[in-house]
Amino acid sequence: MLNGEKKIARPFRWAMVGGGRTAGVGYKHRTGALRDNTAFQLVAGAFDIDPVRGEDFGVNVGVDESRCYPDYKTMFTEEVKREDGIEAVSIATPNGTHYEITKAALEAGLHVVCEKPLFFTVAEAQEIKELAEEKGKIVGVTYGFSGNQMMLQMRAMVEQGKIGDIRIVELQYTHGFNATDKADAISEAQKWRVDPKIAGPSFVLGDLSTHTYYMSQLIMPNMKISKLLCDRQSIVGSRAPLEDNAFVLMHYENGAVGRLWTSSVDAGCMDGHRIRIVGSKASLEWWDSKPNELRYEVQGEPAQTLIRAMPYLDESCLADERLGALHQEGLSDAWANIYLKFAVAMDAKNRGDEETLKNLVYPDINAGLEGIRWIENCVRSADAGAAWVEFE
């Protein structure tokens, strides 16, 4: 049970690149990182592409005016000169800038937290992974939903054989907010997402499905895809070549099969983020719209609904408990969980505590890299006419 007491000697001095007033995701980072003030303290930022607005915003969230920077380069240059300079930075900018900012941050000696999808290519991710290792730094990826502790419950149940051998994996992350192209033209947050130069080789595959794909890996760490097929569409034609809808079929090395559907044109859908893992004995199902519940269905027995915070849950799940039974946790709690783990990982890395790092389940650089690999394989299949491709 987490109650805000410190897990590390002192909070990291932390900054943000992007995530200012006009970016919805910025608040998720801050509310995650600053949850208890014992993991991170926000001391600097290059919050906005508009430096004046960025400074105004920074001051409003408590950053000293002198440490509100016009851009990330200046911030890294200036902060490195300070004795109390930043130690970690979160990157909440459009996809196309992740690679260069992460690289610069590592070279400036900073731990990094970056938005998903991490970069455009696996090659970039491998390069950054090596750089991070060389620099002794952590790169975390904000698969925010994955901080929901029911993921750890599912992971534990899978590992304990509670569902038997995994046979079928059913993943979905769909919504309908882009059923029309209206926002493509007017929303800053949406405009770049359908521009391949900034968004990269995919829209919803990267924007939505990498979350769900990572969660599936977290739950079933031993399941490896052997081949897949991706059929992607630009249902709203102006989005071509980027997809706003995609179906993926998967074959796993153990013989299991799977599906994923991701879409932002699933009109009216408000509960389309779901995971179902079917085993030989039972299934597990979780819906993001009911984040405090887990459905455990043993064939031939009454279906069970497991509820967050209850003592019958696995200790790995209960370890991330904050509010207690009957009290609903939500996405802000999930973000707080992963940011706390980022801090613990950074601290362990600084101390050379490899044992802690090995046992910590959180979205690290490998999770980011695997997300890119997922997109690359999907795009390769889709571009080959929705053909089966070996998963590379």
CB of 6 to a copy of itself, least distance (A): 5
CB of 26 to a copy of itself, least distance (A): 7
Q: Which residue lies nearer to a copy of itself by CB, 159 or 170?
A: 170
Using an 8 Å Cβ cutoff, are 150 and 317 in contact? Answer: yes
CB of 281 to a copy of itself, least distance (A): 6
CA distance 213 to 325: 29
Angle at the Cα of 264 (from 260 to 267), degrees rounded to 5? 105
The residue written with tokens 């994923």 in the block is 260
Using an 8 Å Cβ cutoff, are 118 and 372 in contact? Answer: yes
The residue written with tokens 């044109």 in the block is 265
CB of 4 to a copy of itself, least distance (A): 5
CB of 204 to a copy of itself, least distance (A): 13
CA distance 322 to 38: 15
Q: Which residue lies nearer to a copy of itself by CB, 257 or 357?
A: 257
CB of 350 to a copy of itself, least distance (A): 20
Q: Which residue lies nearer to a copy of itself by CB, 73 or 290?
A: 290
CB of 248 to a copy of itself, least distance (A): 10
Q: Which residue lies nearer to a copy of itself by CB, 26 or 201?
A: 26
Q: Which residue lies nearer to a copy of itself by CB, 121 or 332?
A: 332
229 backbone dihedrals φ, ψ, rounded to 5°: -135, 130
Q: Which residue lies nearer to a copy of itself by CB, 52 or 80?
A: 52
CA distance 35 to 169: 33
Residue 51, preceding bond cis, omega within 30 degrees? no
CA-closest candidate to residue 219, choices 263, 155, 306: 155
Q: Which residue lies nearer to a copy of itself by CB, 104 or 260?
A: 260
Long-range contacts of 108-112 (CB under 8 A, 24+ apart): 108/76, 108/77, 108/79, 108/80, 109/80, 109/135, 109/137, 110/76, 110/86, 110/137, 111/12, 111/87, 111/137, 111/138, 111/139, 111/140, 111/342, 111/346, 111/349, 112/88, 112/137, 112/138, 112/139, 112/140
